[in-house]
Amino acid sequence: ANYMPCVIMSNSDVTVQIEDLGASQHDASEGRKLMPVRLWQDRLFTDCTVTCGSSEFRCHRAVLAKASAVWRTALESSFRESHDAKLSIDDFDPGVVEAVLKYAYTCEIEFVDAAAVLGLAHRYSSTPQVWPEFLKIIGQDPS
C-alpha cells in the first residue's frame, strides 16, 4: 500500500508542501531492525541497571527479559532485583558483561574472552537456543 497522507487545513493563509521521500515498507522494516541497536547506543528510557564491580550498565528490562529467562524471572518476580531494578554480576570482568549485554541488544559481539562470554551466557540460560548466532560468530557453529 502506498502512503497517502490526508491534510485538512482550516486556515487559507497556510501553505503545506508534502514530498514523497521514497520511504518504502522495506525502509521501515530496516528501521525496526535497527531499533534495538539504537536502544543500546542511546540508552534512552532505561529502567534497570546491571552492575559489575564499579561498572554500571543502564538497560531495558524488556530487552534483558527477552534475552534471558533467568533475567526475566529475576526482574518480574518478588526478588530484590525486581524491586530495585538492578542485576549484579560481580564474578566476571566488566568487559565480558558489557559484551553479553551488547549482544542481547545488537546481536553483535566484540571479541573479548570468548570462554568467559560463553560462561556468562550459559549461566543466564542464554546459549545456543537463545543466541545461536553467537556461536557462529566465534567459530563454534552448532549446525
So what's the pLDDT on residue 48?
96
**What is the Cα Rg of the chain in Å?**
21
* C-alpha to C-alpha distance for 69 and 126, rounded to whole angstroms: 8
pLDDT in tens, 32-69: 778 888 999 998 999 999 999 999 999 999 999 988 88
**Ranges under pLDDT 70 in the chain:** 1-29, 31, 111, 126-143
Collect all residues with Cβ–Cβ distance below 8 Å to 93 and sequence separation of at least 6. 52, 112, 113, 116
Q: Which amino acid is at 17?
A: Q
With a threshold of 0.85, does the pTM exceed it? no
C-alpha cell at 15: 501553505
